[in-house]
Structure 1
Amino acid sequence: MTSATAPDTGLVRPVNLALATWVSAINFWAWNMIGPLSTTYAGDLRLSSTEASILVATPILVGAIGRVAVGALTDRYGGRVMFIAISLASIPPVLAVGAAGAAGSYPMLVVFGFFLGIAGTIFAVGIPFANNWYEPARRGFATGVFGMGMVGTALSAFFTPRFVRWFGLFPAHIIVAAALAATAVLCIVVMRNSPEFTPNTDPVVPKLKAAAKLGVTWEMSALYAIVFGGFVAFSNYLPTYIKHIYGFSPVDAGARTAAFALAAVLARPVGGALSDRIAPKYVVLASFAGTALMAFIAVFQPPPDVWSAATFITLAVFLGVGTGGVFAWVARRAPAKSVGSVTGIVAAAGGLGGYFPPLVMGATYNAADNNYTIGLLLLVATALLAFFYTAIRLHAHEPQPKEAST
C-alpha cells in the first residue's frame, strides 16, 4: 500500500469524502469568479448583452471540455493527485482574471476566463474518487454528497461581490487563490485514495474511444447536459437576469443567486439518496417535469421577492435532484474500470449544457419589453423533450454493460 492509499477504517472514508467535497467547492468558487461580477464588468466596460454573456460563458466552455481528459487521467493517477494538480493549476488564472478586471480590459478577461475553466474540471475527479470509497449500494449517496461541492457557486455568488466591496477587485482574487493553495496543501497532508483504487494504465485516447462506444455514455450525457447545464447556466447568468428583470444591485443579485445555488446543492444528495432506493429513472423524470413547470412559471416574471424566490429556488431543487439522479444512474450503468472516462464525458456534456444557455439568454433578451421569454420557453421545450425521451427510451433496470474494446 502506498502513502496515497489508506485502509477504510474509522473515519477515513467520510473524511476523504468530506475533503473531496471541499476541494470541489473551492474550485467551483474559482470557476465562478466572473459570473457574480458580470453586471459590474458590463457597467464599467459598457458591454452589450451579448458581450457580457460571452464573458460569463467562456470559463464554462473550458471547464466542460477539459473534463473529458481529466476523467481519463483520474482513472490512471487517482483522485488525490488530480485534486492537488487542478487546485494548483487554477491559481494563476484566478490571479490573471483579477488583474484583467482591475485593468479594465475586456479582451484580457475573456482570454484569462478561458483558462479559469481549468477549475471547472474538478467534477470529473470526484465522481470516480467517491465511487472507489463506497460500495455500489451507497454510491448514489456518495456522489450526491460530493456533488454538494457545487455550493462553491453559491459561495462565490454571495461572497465575491462583498469581497470586492470590502477589499477591492484584485485582493478578492488573491483571497480565492490563497484558499486554493491551502486546499492543495490539505490534500497533500490528509487525502488518500481508496484501497479499492486500481490505476488504469491503458493509453488515454483509446480509453476515451472505448467509453465513447458505450451507449450509456451518450444517454447519460444528454440527460446531464440539461440538469447540470441548467444549474451552471443559471448560477452564472442569474445575476444578470435579476438585475435586468428586477433591478437589484450586484450584491443583492448575488445573494439571491447564492440562494438558488444553495438550494440545488442541498437537493443533489437527495436525488442521489432517492436513487439508491428507487430506480434513478423516476428521479430524473420528476426533475425534468418540475424543471419544465418552473421555467414556464418564470416566463410570467413572478413579482419580487417571495414569488420570484419561490419560483427559482423550486427550479433549483428540481435541477439539483436531477443531477444527483443522473450520476447515481451513471454509477450503476458504467463499467467499473471506465467510470472515470464515462464520468469525464458525461461531466463535459453537463458543462457544455451550461455553456450555451447564457449565450442564448443574452441573444434572445428583449430589451424593449425587458423579458427573457424566448430563452425560458426553450428551456421548457428542452426539459419536456428530455422527459419523454427518458420515459420512452430508457429502462429503469438494466444490466451493467461490459467494457468496450479499445
Structure 2
Amino acid sequence: MSSGAHVRGSSARSVNLALATWVSAINFWAWNLIGPLSTTYAEALSLSSAEASMLVATPILVGSLGRIVVGALTDRFGGRVMFIALSSSSIVPVLAVGFAGSIDSYTLLLVFGFFLGIAGTVFAIGIPFANNWYEPARRGFATGVFGAGMVGTALSAFFTPRMVGWFGLFPTHAIVAAALGVTALVCVVVMRDSPEFVPNTNPVIPKLRVAARLRVTWEMAFLYAVVFGGFVAFANYLPTYIKTIYDFSAVDAGTRTAGFAVAAVIARPIGGALSDRIPPKFVVLTSLAGTGVMAVVAAFQPPPDFWSAVTFIGLAVFLGIGTGGVFAWVARRSPAASVGSITGIVAAAGGVGGYFPPLVMGATYDAADNDYTVGLALLAITAAVALLYTAFRLHAREPDTSVQAHST
C-alpha cells in the first residue's frame, strides 16, 4: 500500500469511528430519556419506589435483548445500514415517550418506554463496525473509543432535566428526535463500511446458535453483565438514588449522574487501550476488585459532596475500565465471521445486567433507615464472584482467533 493510500485509509477509519461514536451517543441519550426524569415522574404520578424502578428498567431490558438480533443483522448488512435504520426507527418512540409524559400517563410511559429500548441496541452495531476498520492490535483502542458513546447517558442526565425546564417536556423529546433524524442523514452521506467487511449471509438463527455454542460468548457475557450492567444501572437509577439519600433536586441529581457517566466514558477507552498492551484479564480483574470495594464504601453513605463524589466517580472509573477491557477481550477471542453475533449476545447480557439492579434497589430500599445497603451489598458480592471466576478460570493469553478467521 502506498503512503498516500495509507493516509486516506487512516483518515477514513478515523472519520467513520468518530461518526459511529456520535451515533452511539445520540442513541444512548434517547435510550436514557426516562432515567433523568424518573424523580419528576414519580412525584407527578405519585409512584412507589417499585413503580419508578420499573419505569427506568423497561427500556433497559428491551435495548438489551434486542442487541442479540441487531448484532446478527450487523454481520449481514453492515454497520452503515444498521446505524441508519436504528437512528431512524428510534424517532417515533422518543416522540411517543414525550407525549406520554406530557399527559401524565404511567401506562403509556411503560408501553412507549418498551419501544424506546430500540435505541439501546446501538452497541451491538458499533463493535463489529469498529473491528472491521481496525487491525487486531488496535481493536481495543477502537472499541474503547466507540464505547465512549456512552457519554450519551451523561448528556441525557445533564441536559434533559434542564431542557425540560427551558423548553417543556414534549419539545425536549422533539429536539432529541430531530437530532436522531439528522444523525441518520449524516450517516447516509458520510458513513461507509470498511473495505474489510464481508457480509455474512447465513440465516440469523443458525449464526446465533453457532455463537451460543462458543465458550467465549458466555464467559464474556457474564463479565459484561457485571461491569456494563453496573454502569447502565447506576446511569439510570442514580438520579433516584441521589435524590432519595441526599435530597437533591432533579437537576442537581442529574448533574451528579452526568459526572458519574462522564467518568465511566473516559475510563472505557483507557480500559480498551490498556488491553492492547497487557492481557485484558488483568484489566478486568482490576475493574472487578475496584467495583466491589466502591460498592461497599457507597453502602456507608459517604457525606456529600466531596466524599460521595469520590465514591461514585471511583465506581464509574472501575466500571468503565472493565467495559473497555471486556470488549477488547471479545474482539481478541472471537472468530471474525461471528463477531457481530457474539457481540450481540454479550452486549445483551450487559444490558440485562443493568435491568435488574434498579428493580433490586427499589425492592430492597429500607425506607425506615433511608438506605440501599442490601442492593449495594449484592453488587459487591457479584463483583467478587466474577473476580474469582476470572482469576481462576480464564487464561491471561489465548490464541487470537480473529486473526485466524481472517486468514482462512
The TM-score, its normalising length taken from structure 2, stands at 0.96
In 2, the alpha carbon distance for the partners of 1:123 and 1:398 equals 25
1:149 is matched with 149
1:223 is matched with 223
2:57 is matched with 57
Question: Over aligned residue pairs, what C-alpha RMSD do you find?
Answer: 1.1
1:11 deviation in Å?
Answer: 1.4
1:370 deviation in Å?
Answer: 0.3
2:375 is matched with 375
Query: Which amino acid is the alignment partner of residue 47 of structure 1?
Result: L
Q: For residues 348-373 of structure 1, what are the alpha-carbon distances to aligned partners after superposition, in whole Å with 9 as ceiling and x for unaligned?
A: 00000000000000000001100000
Query: Which amino acid is the alignment partner of residue 185 of structure 1?
Result: L
Which residues in structure 2 correspond to 1:64-103 (within 5 Å)? Answer: 64-103=64-103
Which residues in structure 2 correspond to 1:281-320 (within 5 Å)? Answer: 281-320=281-320
Which residues in structure 2 correspond to 1:96-175 (within 5 Å)? Answer: 96-175=96-175
In 2, the alpha carbon distance for the partners of 1:84 and 1:296 equals 42
1:52 deviation in Å?
Answer: 0.1
Which ranges of structure 1 fall in alignment gaps of 5 or more residues? 1-5
In 2, the alpha carbon distance for the partners of 1:202 and 1:10 equals 31
Aligned residues: 398
Query: Which amino acid is the alignment partner of residue 48 of structure 2?
Result: S
Identity between Structure 1 and Structure 2 (%)? 76
In 2, the alpha carbon distance for the partners of 1:83 and 1:368 equals 47
1:36 is matched with 36
1:3 is matched with none
Q: For residues 2-36 of structure 1, what are the alpha-carbon distances to aligned partners after superposition, in whole Å with 9 as ceiling and x for unaligned?
A: xxxx9952511100000000000000000000000
1:334 aligns with 2:314: no
Checking the alignment, whether the CA contact within 8 Å between 1:7 and 1:195 is kept in structure 2 is: no
1:140 deviation in Å?
Answer: 0.1
2:384 is matched with 384
Checking the alignment, whether the CA contact within 8 Å between 1:7 and 1:194 is kept in structure 2 is: no
Checking the alignment, whether the CA contact within 8 Å between 1:64 and 1:120 is kept in structure 2 is: yes
The TM-score, its normalising length taken from structure 1, stands at 0.97
Q: For residues 76-131 of structure 1, what are the alpha-carbon distances to aligned partners after superposition, in whole Å with 9 as ceiling and x for unaligned?
A: 00000000000000000000000000010000000000000000000000000000
1:355 is matched with 355
Q: For residues 58-93 of structure 1, what are the alpha-carbon distances to aligned partners after superposition, in whole Å with 9 as ceiling and x for unaligned?
A: 000000000000000000000000000000000000
In 2, the alpha carbon distance for the partners of 1:102 and 1:236 equals 20
In 1, the alpha carbon distance for the partners of 2:9 and 2:219 equals 36
Runs of 4+ in 1 over 6 A off after TM superposition: none
Instruction: Report SS of the residue matched to 1:9.
Output: helix
Which residues in structure 2 correspond to 1:179-190 (within 5 Å)? Answer: 179-190=179-190
Checking the alignment, whether the CA contact within 8 Å between 1:97 and 1:113 is kept in structure 2 is: yes
1:242 aligns with 2:242: yes
In 2, the alpha carbon distance for the partners of 1:13 and 1:52 equals 42
Query: Which amino acid is the alignment partner of residue 87 of structure 2?
Result: S
In 2, the alpha carbon distance for the partners of 1:142 and 1:179 equals 24
1:399 deviation in Å?
Answer: 1.9
1:400 deviation in Å?
Answer: 4.2
Query: Which amino acid is the alignment partner of residue 376 of structure 1?
Result: L
In 2, the alpha carbon distance for the partners of 1:346 and 1:194 equals 23
In 1, the alpha carbon distance for the partners of 2:8 and 2:111 equals 43
Which ranges of structure 2 fall in alignment gaps of 5 or more residues? 1-5
In 1, the alpha carbon distance for the partners of 2:329 and 2:12 equals 26
In 1, the alpha carbon distance for the partners of 2:16 and 2:343 equals 19
1:204 aligns with 2:196: no
1:285 deviation in Å?
Answer: 0.1
Q: For residues 204-241 of structure 1, what are the alpha-carbon distances to aligned partners after superposition, in whole Å with 9 as ceiling and x for unaligned?
A: 00000000000000000000000000000000000000
